[in-house]
Amino acid sequence: MFNNNMILVVIPARGGSKGIPRKNLRLMDNKPLISYSIGVAKVSQYVDDVVVTTDDSQIALIAEKFGASVVRRSEELSSDDTLLDPVIHDAMIQKEKLALDEYDIVITLQPTSPLIKTATLDKAIEKFEDFGIDSVISVVDDRHLSWGYDENNQRYFPNYIERLNRDDLPKSYRETGAILATRRSFVKENSRLGSNIDIIEISREESVNIETYEDWWLAENYLKKKRIAIVVNANEEIGTSYIDRCLAIASKLVFHEVLFLIDEHHQMGVDIVSGCNYSYRVYEDLGDLFTILKEFGTHIVINDIQDTSEEYISSLKQEGYFVVNFEDLGVGGDLADVVFDDLYEHDLAERNVFTSHKYFILKDEFYYQPAKIITNDVKRVLITFGEQDPHNFTEMVIQAILATNYEGRIDVVVGRGYGNLEELISRYESNPLIQIYQNVSNISEFMFKSDIIFTSASKSIYEICSIGIPTVCLCKDSREESHAFVTRNNGFINMGLGEFIEKQELIDIFIKLVNDFELRMDMHEKMRSIDLRYGFENMVSVVEEEYRKFEFNKNNDNHVGLQ
């Protein structure tokens, strides 16, 4: 049908915009605002001609550079109170004189709607397959509980019969102004609408119309929005620290679309993510994973699955994804665009790795905890060795503390993977000093209320550091022993590999901490001198810089391929 129709898109762009001066020429995400509507129309499969009608020579120049033709409008068609009907009619007549032919469909496409998609424009045009349709306008579902005002009675009244949730209200459409398409015969100096009008409903994103600086800010954030796939797992063996980090990241990616991808065998991860109401998909194997990535339209893949293979990361890169890995000591890390590691040291000569505590991302609950006030008395001790405690350091520390005749409270927090829970409870349930908890959701509260902490050299050391609690670390393995942050200079007492520590050593260090207020204060002050609140911002700064390079290189490769 459309092969036999001439279709003209008219983009009205006056130079004298008031709300945002010169807005059609100003750069939105590094491109002139008017270039977006030109680009949308130029790649349409149906549009024959794209013309910008303007009174401004600079707008005319930019429009031509982006591939549109230009017609000049008269001064009388360029005033603040001029309606669009005569402007569009004038542009159509000028173009038809140049073409020595008439168009069949004339479409107004507003330059102030930069988020409209070509697919939406094409769908609007396809509406004309119904020969009974005269005009098509873009609308957005704007249903809400609204009120009116009675001037005579000077009273407000509801525009609804029953108060309902928004989703239960009848649809109410608002014109967006982005698209107004009509058959040629209805384009007149005082009207662009026929009698039989159809609508095309567009998303709230596409409906953004640039009238204010707030609109501009919103549109620019939409344009920068990325689809970010987070590949992460959690079970009793590996714990929840990886998924906790990814949830902390996702909570701050408010302007991006996030999808969690979880191995189908990691039900714990599924339960945690679904419990937080984030979108997620489970995958069976790598083939399934890559299918989901493609369906999602992924821009960035975040892997928080420890060591990756060369095959996996190479496949991600071949698909054109920007790849960010966490704590990746595997061969695949060499191929990732960015690797962040807040715990381990790397060979930085050949790898794009960013290390140190600067890139640790605190869980949300730690942003609201105040600094600990160190007192002379130690009234509460926290023992927590994470998801798993294979050497049962938990009980080793309990016994050492009890051997000192300490009379304060002992909070014991164990993870899902702790294998001796029933035995631990039965052994100490009669001791009023000891309270045992499993899988707590508010670990920051336990940390804040404690005066001394015994823990492993895992990510929890950063959480403890953010509050400033004197802490003794027992490393579970050689990997933890290599954590460069757990030092006396940063406020920690690192006792090394816990399996080689004697009970008396624990007794001695506990007694020293309890009796040495100056030592505990010094540990606290060293911790509090380290600012851990900006890990996310530091990470984003790196990713944005590396992503710019990635996009630049990709665009250059595409240009080379077209030659």
Annotate 284-329 with DSSP letters as a single string: SSHHHHHHHHHHHT-SEEEEESSS--HHHHHHHHHTT-EEEEES--
DSSP 534: T
Which conformational region is residue 405 in: left (phi greater than 0), alpha (psi within -120 to 50 degrees), or beta?
left
**DSSP SS3 for 331:** helix
Percent of the chain with pLDDT over 70: 97
Query: What is the predicted pLDDT for the residue at 562?
Result: 34
Residue 350 has pLDDT above 80, yes or no: no
Give the model's confidence band at 560: pLDDT under 50 very low, under 70 low, under 90 confident, else very high.
very low
Whether the Cβ atoms of residue 471 and residue 455 lie closer than 8 Å to each other: yes
Whether the Cβ atoms of residue 206 and residue 113 lie closer than 8 Å to each other: yes
* 504-516 confidence digits (pLDDT tens): 999 999 999 999 9
What mean pLDDT comes out for the span 183-195? Answer: 95
Residue 181 has pLDDT above 50, yes or no: yes
Give the residue, 17 or 56, on which the prediction is more confident.
56
Match 């590996």 to its residue by tokens: 238
Give the residue, 558 or 251, on which the prediction is more confident.
251
Domains of the chain by start residue, with CATH? 2-221 (3.90.550.10), 225-362+540-562 (3.40.50.11190), 364-528 (3.40.50.2000)
* 288-301 confidence digits (pLDDT tens): 999 999 999 999 99
Of 115, 333, 401, 552, give the one whose Cα is nearest residue 344: 333
Measured at the alpha carbon of residue 269, what is the angle toward residues 469 and 448, in degrees to the nearest 5? Answer: 15
Answering whether pTM is above 0.85, one says: no
**DSSP SS3 for 399:** helix
Q: In whole angstroms, give the CA distance from residue 434 to residue 395.
A: 11
* 122-142 confidence digits (pLDDT tens): 999 999 999 999 999 999 999
Residue 51 has pLDDT above 70, yes or no: yes
Query: What is the predicted pLDDT for the residue at 352?
Result: 84
Q: How far, in Å, are 249, 251, 385, 462, 465 from residue 459 at the CA level?
A: 15, 19, 11, 6, 10
Query: What is the predicted pLDDT for the residue at 561?
Result: 38
| Burial class of residue 414 in the structure, from the number of CB atoms within 10 Å of its CB (0-12 exposed, 13-18 middle, 19+ buried) | buried
| Radius of gyration of the chain measured on its C-alpha atoms | 32
* 358-367 confidence digits (pLDDT tens): 999 988 888 8
What mean pLDDT comes out for the span 172-196? Answer: 94
* 56-94 confidence digits (pLDDT tens): 999 999 999 999 999 999 888 988 888 999 999 999 999
Biggest distance spanned by C-alpha atoms of the chain: 102
Where does 170-256 show beta strands of DSSP type E?
173-183, 197-201, 227-232
Give the model's confidence band at 394: pLDDT under 50 very low, under 70 low, under 90 confident, else very high.
very high
Give the mean pLDDT of the chain: 91
Query: What is the predicted pLDDT for the residue at 387?
Result: 80
Give the model's confidence band at 563: pLDDT under 50 very low, under 70 low, under 90 confident, else very high.
very low
Give the model's confidence band at 2: pLDDT under 50 very low, under 70 low, under 90 confident, else very high.
low
Which conformational region is residue 306 in: left (phi greater than 0), alpha (psi within -120 to 50 degrees), or beta?
left
Give the residue, 479 or 45, on which the prediction is more confident.
45
The sign of the torsion formed by the CA atoms of 396, 399, 404, 410 equals: positive
Which amino acid would we find at residue 302? I
Query: What is the predicted pLDDT for the residue at 344?
Result: 67
